[in-house]
Each structure stands twice: as C-alpha cells, then as structure tokens.
Amino acid sequence: MYRASQPVRRLAILVLAGAMLSVPVSLVAQANSATPSSSNTSERWLHVRVICTDSKGESVRVNIPVEMAEKVLPAINKNQLHGGKVHLSDSELNGVDLKTLLEAVRSSKDGEYVTVEATDADVRVAKQSGFMLVHVTEKNIAAKGGKASEKSRVDVKVPMKVVEALFSAGKDELDLVAALRALSANGDTELFSVKSDDSTVHVWLDSKNVAD
Amino acid sequence: MMLLAKLAVGAATTLVFATVYTFREGTVRVDVDELREGGAHVHVWAPAAVVPMALYFVPDRKLEKLTDHAEQWAPIARIAAQEMRRYPNSTFVEVQDSREHVKVSTAGSRIEVDVEEPDENVHVAVPLTMIDDVIARIARSQPAA
C-alpha cells in the first residue's frame, strides 16, 4: 500500500487546513464585498422628510432608491394601483380630459397659467424652464386693516418630462413607473415642500442615500 | 493512537464544514428587552439557514392561515428584499418622536429593524437572502389559484 512520506503528509495537512480556513474567510469576504458605500453617483434616491414642530416633535425620514421603487411598484396591486399605474375613476376626473389638458400645457410657451389672489390663499400655476410649478400660500385672515400672515406654503416643482411620463399611459391612468424613470434621468431636484405652523414636508431627489 | 488522531481530524473537519454550511447565510438576531421591572430579556441568535428549514416542519394549512393574503405581499417583499441587497448600509425609513424611534435599514447584507420605546427595545437583524427562502417556502404552501 502506498504511504506518503512525512513531508508530503505535512504539506497535505497544511493545504487542507488552509483550504478549510479559507472557506469561512471567503464567506466573510463575500459578505463584506456587499458593503461598499452605496451612494453610487448614477443611483437616484427619493427622499421624503416630515418634521412636526408640535409637542410630540415627530419626524419621519424615508429614503428610497428610485430604481428600487421602479421594481417594487409594478408588484403592488391594491385598490387603484395596478402594474405601476394608478387608475383614475370618472368621479375623480370630474369630466376633465387630463391628456388633452397636458398636451395644451406641454405645447404652450413658458408662462403663468393660473394666478389667484384671495384673502385666504394665493395660488400660482406656471411653466418655466421645463418645469411645472405650483405655489399655494394659505393665509391667516387678517384683522381689519392688518396684514394677513402666512399660514402655510406649498411649493411643487416637477420636471415637465416627468409630468408627460406620468400621463403617458391611458386617458384615465397615471403611469408612476414611467414618471419615476423620467425622474431618475433628472439631476438633483426639489420636488415638493410644504411649510406650515406645525410641520414641514420636503420631497426631493438626489444621489445620496441619507436624508440630511 | 494514529487511528484516534485520524478520527479526531475527520470529526473536526466534519464539524468545521457543518458549521460553515449552517452559517453560510449568516445569522438571525432578535433582541427584545422589556425595560420595566422584571421585564423579559430575550436574545436569540440563530443561523439563518435553519429558519427556512424549520418552516418545512410547519404543516401547510397552518402556514396558509399564518400567511393570509401572501399572494398580495409576498411578491412585493421578495422584490424589495432582492433590491435591498444592492443598497447595503442604507437607512430606508426612520421615524422618531419624543417617545419612540423606529428604523429600518440595511447593514451589509442584512436588514435591520430597530424599535426603541420607553418600555421596550426590539432589534431584529435578518439576512436578506433568508427572506427569499422564507417567501419561497410560504409561496409553496399556498393553494394553487
């Protein structure tokens, strides 16, 4: 029977021991290889931050990679959301043809479309440099002769390409996935902000995986 | 003597490989600390590979009851878990008020859920790959549509 010499056996034991040790090491390396800083510049993150300034001091921070949202949304089939599209019922549309309305806005030149100045609120809807802008300022009704103070302020700034993608599905559908895709093609964007007496809401897009 | 040594090497090798195999998917960690007097302190640390295996011993009808409406949420959870693997060390949701702090984040290839309340702290860390296996097992237990 063949008997290996002592140096060969030693070498074999060393190789075996090395191989055995390398298995857990390689597993650890595999686990660690998945931990680079996730903020790749091509990644787009959608951030939502809600801060309440009341006594409870509640704050909510949500950070979602746009690409992840694009993949998860089509899997949600609940109520009016199916396959990444929101179906709008006739009662919600109130007979408004959204597609025609959008087409009219898209083909129009930059400008202010709606301006309302009332005692309790100011509203402004405009198209400017490829963005759809909506500003609403709610006012505290002033005492006689006094100046009305600002109660809350809503600012919406959405790239027109995103609005177009949103309405690209059917006549009575909003294509959220297409809108997200269009959104991810944009640079850092402030999308939505609300400031009121007791809370602030901020929605924006950038390439960081942290909210602040 | 030589025979004993060979047996020892064989047993040790088996043990090492069994350990590596068992822990190949990482570990599940659950910590629950009730902060009231006499409150429970539960700390579970188990190999993640064991959880899907353990699910095979749960009868299908019991699993069906536990996982009602799985057809709705299982695909979402599966895709979310797969996608989260691409974003290690990220915080997805954080809610804080004067009493509570809730955080859902990834740390490496694990998802971590931390809940801190005045009377209880709960920390759960689960490898994302395990979620896939668990959902696959749950999907198999669902009656065909």
ipTM: 0.76
Identify the sign of the CA torsion A103, A108, A111, A115.
negative
Can you tell me the distance from the alpha carbon of A151 to that of B66, in angstroms, rounded to the nearest whole number?
48
Q: How far is CA A147 from CA A120, A124, A143, A196, in A?
A: 12, 20, 8, 18
Q: Which of A192-201, B28-37, B58-67, B77-86 has the least mean pLDDT?
A: B58-67
Segment among A34-48, A67-81, A89-103, B96-110 with least mean pLDDT: A34-48
pLDDT for position A16 = 52
- Per-residue pLDDT, averaged over A63-84, amounts to 90
CB within 8 Å: B87 and A62: no
Asked if A87 contacts A173 with a C-beta cutoff of 8 angstroms, the reply is: yes
Three-state SS at B117 = coil
HEC string of chain A? CCCCCHHHHHHHHHHHHHHHHHHHHHHHHHHHHCCCCCCCCCCCEEEEEEEECCCCCCEEEEEEEHHHHHHHHHHCCECCEECCEEECCHHHHCCCCHHHHHHHHHHCCCEEEEEEECCCEEEEEEEECCEEEEEEEEEECCCCCCCCEEEEEEEEEEEHHHHHHHCCCCCCEEEHHHHHHHHHCCCCEEEEEEEECCEEEEEEEECCCCCC
Q: How far is CA A112 from the centre of its chain?
A: 26
Interface test with B, best of A58, A70, A79, A180 (most B CBs within 10 A): A58
User: Cα(A191)–Cα(B80) distance, rounded to whole angstroms?
Assistant: 24
Residue B48 near chain A (CB below 8 Å)? no
Q: Are A68 and A180 in contact (CB under 8 A)?
A: no
Q: How far apart are CA B50 and CA B35, in angstroms?
A: 30
What is the per-residue pLDDT for A40?
56
CA distance A82 to A75: 8
- Find the mean pLDDT for residues B49-77: 78
| In the predicted structure, residue B107 carries a pLDDT above the cut 80 | yes
The pLDDT score that the predictor gives to residue A177 is 92
Using 50, 70 and 90 to split pLDDT, how confident is the model at A38?
A: very low
For A20, the closest of B16, B84, B98 (CB atoms) is B16
The pTM (predicted TM-score) of the whole model is: 0.74
Q: Tell me whether B8 touches chain A (CB under 8 Å).
A: no
pLDDT at A66 over 90: yes
A77 in contact with B, Cβ within 8 Å: yes
**CB of A85 within 8 A of CB of A176?**
yes
Q: Is the model's pLDDT at A84 over the cut of 50?
A: yes
B71 Cβ neighbours under 8 A, 6+ residues apart: B142, B145
Contact list in B for residue A211 (CB cut-off 8 A) is 91, 94
Element (H, E) at B114: strand B110-116
Q: Are A73 and A85 in contact (CB under 8 A)?
A: no
Q: What is the mean pLDDT of residues A194-208?
A: 90
The amino acid present at A101, given as its one-letter code, is L
Give the residue with greater pLDDT, B129 vs B139. B129
